[in-house]
Amino acid sequence: MKREAMRYLGALGIALLLLGCTEPSAPAPKQEKAALPAITKENTHKHYRGKFVWHDLLTADTASAQTFYAKLFGWTYEKRGEYVLVMNKGRLIGGMMKVTPKAGEKAEAVWLPSLSVADVDKAVSYTKRRKGKVLNGPMDMKERGRGALISDPHGAHIVLLRSKSGDPLDRTPQMGDWLWNELWSNHLSKSYGFYRTLGGYDKTKPTDDYVILKRKGKWRAGIRNVQEDGLKVHWVPVIRVADPKVITAKVPKLGGRVLMEPQASFMNGDVAVIVDPSGALVIVQRWEEGGAQ
């Protein structure tokens, strides 16, 4: 099992290396450029510190991305000016925004996660103290709430958010929903230390390969130890699917790439790594209800 696990970790590292080192452009300047809609249709009056509550796809081609994900997962969309709301079975799960790269730079898409925090300004101050970078904000967004785009001490980008409409309520992820988020890092202990305080997570003893980020016993995310030269530390979202083999068979026909096929020798072929037509990385995973999440 140890050998198979290392093979899996190696495949994940190679997947990241294939993405290159292009940094995504910031989604908005310090004053909101495009009106970002609320992350819930109605105010939930709930906030879950440490929960990943939203995902924005930053891409130079939102039209191709919409077609890709619609045919792969059945997602639907709603235009809000320049912004595209993403829905799975009628439920809001994310957004898409067109980002034009600077002259001479390659357009590379990325799914940018938003993490619920109790106080954005305090979280930003903490990030600076830990030698992370604040790329945009903090800023007040008319509909979405107060947020800031940061780069953690090892370069992974994430949005810190205090949602104006509350966070999405906890529920069992459905097919096509976000199932999980993983940080691929070659500094597992240091990454864990940074995020544990940032998200207010429970104390957990990391293993050599993985650590679960939990708050009040609820699983919220994971950090995977990927020891590859040239690794770009990166948050990777996971989508729940019924069968990864069915998904990966469709990906090339839709203009994407399969970086890691479902492997029967590890996790029963329940996990695959894909890239959409514009370069955004996604994990697809089969998961049975009643598991640890």
pLDDT tens string 152-201: 999 999 999 999 999 999 999 999 999 999 999 999 999 999 999 999 99
Q: What is the CATH number of the domain that holds 129?
A: 3.10.180.10
Residue 45 lies in a domain: no
Which ranges constitute the DSSP H helices of the chain? 2-19, 62-73, 120-129, 188-199, 244-250
The verdict on 148 and 203 lying in the same domain is no
Task: Look at residue 250 and tell me if it is in a domain.
Answer: yes
State which of 137, 163, 189 marks the end of a domain. Answer: 163
Give the model confidence (pLDDT) of 262-273 as tens digits: 976 556 669 999
| Distance, CA of 107 to CA of 100 (rounded, Å) | 7
Domain boundary pick from 120, 136, 163:
163
Which of the pair, 28 or 260, is modelled with greater confidence? 260
Q: What is the dihedral of CA 3, 4, 10, 16, to 10 degrees?
A: -160
Whether residue 239 is found in the same domain as residue 256: yes
pTM equals: 0.87
**Are residues 128 and 175 in contact, defined by beta-carbon separation less than 8 angstroms?**
no
Q: Which of 111, 146, 163 is the last residue of a domain?
A: 163
Query: How does residue 1 score in pLDDT terms, banded at 50, 70 and 90?
Result: very low
The residue range of the domain holding 109 is: 52-163
Summarised one tens digit per residue, pLDDT across range 53-86 is 999 999 999 999 999 999 999 999 999 998 999 9
Which residues, in sequence order, are bridge partners of residue 223?
183, 211
Q: How high is the pLDDT of residue 293?
A: 40
C-alpha gyration radius of the chain: 18
